[in-house]
Amino acid sequence: MSRIAASAVIHPMAVIEDGAVIGENVKIGPFCRVGSRVTLKDGVELVSNAVVTGLTEIGAGSTIHPMAVIGGVSQSLHEAGEDSRLVVGENCTMREGVTMNCGTVGGGGITSVGNNCLFLANSHVAHDCILGNDIILSNNVMLAGHVRVEDRAILSGGCAVHQFTRIGRHAFIGGLSAVSYDVIPYGMLNGNPGILGGLNVVGMTRAGIERAVIHQVRRAFKQIFESEGSARANAAAIRDEYLDCAPVIEILDFIAAESDRALSSPNRGKN
């Protein structure tokens, strides 16, 4: 049996399947469909012609625009109909035509999106992706399965991200870029194939990082990617030099972590 809060406003031409949970002050416009295992938290709005299905939870204050399909079955070739979930955080906006798929049992069983994220028209979040907070996916951005995107990353229009790739915090991906390898925190990647062209200095400045710290990060970037040897070896070698610089340590930890992908670099992929 559905649980629908008395304050919810549901258009008579919307379809709410039996079992759905609808929170306080939810607004559901005409021609929307809400599946039987969906939970819409307080203040969620489905503008019109939106579909929310699967074992899906939409966080408070989020908005879903027309033609979006949220919580669909994964497009994995290994999909076998097992139970899996999609969880979207608070105050997220999913514009026209956005698609988000539930996870797969083999990939952890959950696709997860943090708070305050913006998904522009026709962007896609595939199965088992894990996204942090305050992320922007511009129009037509495509995330393949198992991608991880950390807080405050910005992905520009039409870029495509290979499965299992990691994109670090405050990274910036240029329009139409092909992201085949991991992108370090604060990194800026452009092109097809994607090249790590430097640091997202604008984003760092907007985040309140001091100029002196930005200069330290730039110096560390050169030591990692412009010195002889592998990026991972170079990163390990300079750690003691930057113990008092949190952004550099964040980059070094990202590089040292286990990953299925190589690192994006000025020379494309470099371990």
Quickly state the pLDDT bin for 78 (edges 50, 70, 90): confident
192: tokens are 């097809």
* CA dist., res. 14 & res. 31, Å (int): 5
Q: Which CATH class, in words, describes the domain spanning 3-146?
A: mainly beta
Which one of the listed residues 61, 71, 132, 145 is annotated catalytic? 145
pLDDT score, position 117: 99
Mean pLDDT of 135-141: 98
pLDDT score, position 63: 99
Does residue 270 surpass a pLDDT of 60?
no
Which one of the listed residues 61, 103, 128, 174 is annotated catalytic? 128
* Residues 98-131: tens digit of each pLDDT: 999 999 999 999 999 999 999 999 999 999 999 9
Mean pLDDT of 199-220: 97
**Whether 160 contacts 147, CB under 8 Å:** no
* CA dist., res. 197 & res. 2, Å (int): 52
Buried b (16+ CB within 10 A) or exposed e, 206-231: eeebeeebbebbbebbebbbeeeeeb
Mean pLDDT of 70-75: 97
Which one of the listed residues 65, 124, 127, 170 is annotated catalytic? 127
Nearest residue to 265 via CA among 202, 201, 222, 206: 222
pLDDT score, position 269: 57
Q: Does the annotation mark 128 as catalytic?
A: yes
The domain segmentation of the chain, as residue ranges, is 3-146, 205-270
Q: Which residue has the tokens 């200095």?
A: 201
* CA dist., res. 70 & res. 102, Å (int): 8
pTM for the whole structure: 0.97
Q: Does the annotation mark 78 as catalytic?
A: no
Q: Does the annotation mark 127 as catalytic?
A: yes
pLDDT score, position 103: 97
